[in-house]
Amino acid sequence: MFWLGLLSVPVAVQAQGFSTTMLRFGCSQITIDRIDPLVEPGSIPSAHVHQIVGGNAFNASMPSTDISKLADCTSCTFDQDMSNYWTANLYFKARNGSLKRVPQMVNDVIGAANGGITVYYTAPGPKTVTAFKPGFRMFSGEVSRRKSAGQGKRMQSCFRCYTGPNFGGNTNSPCMDPQRDTETFPKTPCPGGIRSSVIFPICWDGKNLDSPNHVDHVAHPTNGPATFAVVDGKCPASHPVKIPQVHYEVVWDTTKFNNKAEWPADGSQPFVLSSGDPTGYGQHGDYVFGWKDDSLQHAMDNRCFGPSCQGLTTQGFDKANKCVVKTVVREDNDGWLAELPGGHQIM
């Protein structure tokens, strides 16, 4: 394990003299399944396939209660974190039209996870944010979006093409580097895989644990989303309470799909999201809070940084990787497919 990645806090954050709190830790995959307790509770199957990490209370109809009391293991390295985190999956569409799911690869700054998601919680300094309450849930992104949200450099979702192993040495400042980050999938083969970053809102209405579209109870800061926006973001009057910034990083191992002879003859890129999106604009993330008691508030108040925090405990990936949830929707998640699971048109 190397900690070069810790240098990746944007220079601006350090220069402004904030003592940034930033948990960053790995969560292995608990399952790949076509269920979605946030957007389509109870539906078996849901519309599209997801890759899910976190606590084992995850199921199609998990209740909006304190799930830290329902789960008895987590695939994340903090023992106290029974939250669930999930995103859409990526598929490769070969020139002959067949599709194959692209596996996630381990983000090597966090250790021997089984694929999964690297999760961040950021605050501008001690005692500056209010941690989520039991039952809190939220969503970031728009599944049907196929055009830029026009936020320029302040993207709420972005992709980075890793130019070589160890991510081409470029793990810094997700979604804030217009030279390297795009709202769309990279247009050329990526020798080190593709990173997908999903940035959640940092402002809360202070009342509702959820909302009908899972978005309206939270808001991005007035100057737009960004990683580490907690540092300079002002919350709108409608959503005055600053919450920790949740941010996901997924790295897809596209390296087995880099043969240009298999790419579309018209020169376009071959990757699609499980929701049928060939652009990447529709990438999204789902969050169900599940930290035990006040453990997240404790971490945010005490300037914790990286994968450990005084007062909290961690487990190794040998143990985290054993926390799994049985796949409910039995369908082929690994072979070559004639169409996306759920029959989504690619458009």
Site residues for ligand NAG per CB under 6 A = 57, 59-62, 70, 94, 96, 98, 262, 336
Give least dist CB 72 to ligand NAG, A.
Answer: 10
Q: Say how far apart CA 36 and CA 52 lie, in whole Å.
A: 10
Nearer to ligand NAG, 35 or 88 (CB): 35
Nearer to ligand NAG, 13 or 62 (CB): 62
294-321 burial, b for 16+ CB within 10 Å, e for fewer?
ebbbbbbbebbbebebeebebbebeebb
Give least dist CB 37 to ligand NAG, A.
Answer: 8
Nearer to ligand NAG, 53 or 62 (CB): 62
Give the CA count within 13 Å in the CB-facing half-sphere of 177: 16
Nearer to ligand NAG, 70 or 329 (CB): 70
Longest dimension (CA), the chain: 56
The set of residues, in sequence order, having a beta carbon less than 8 Å from that of 217 and lying 6+ positions away, is: 138, 204, 205, 207, 208, 209, 210, 211, 239
Structural contact between residues 205 and 238, judged by C-beta atoms closer than 8 angstroms: yes
Side by side, the strands of the sheet bearing 84-88 are: 29-33, 50-54, 84-88, 284-288, 137-141
Nearer to ligand NAG, 129 or 340 (CB): 340
Q: Say how far apart CA 199 and CA 18 lie, in whole Å.
A: 20
Give least dist CB 137 to ligand NAG, A.
Answer: 15
Give least dist CB 229 to ligand NAG, A.
Answer: 34
Give least dist CB 38 to ligand NAG, A.
Answer: 14
Give least dist CB 97 to ligand NAG, A.
Answer: 7
Q: Say how far apart CA 139 and CA 130 lie, in whole Å.
A: 18
Nearer to ligand NAG, 98 or 327 (CB): 98
Tally Cβ neighbours within 10 Å of residue 222. 12
Give least dist CB 258 to ligand NAG, A.
Answer: 12
How far from the centroid of its chain's Cα atoms is residue 65's Cα? 22
Q: In 3-state terms, the chain is what percent helix, strand and coil (to 5)?
A: 10, 25, 65
Nearer to ligand NAG, 108 or 286 (CB): 286
At 241, phi and psi to the nearest 5? Answer: -95, 120
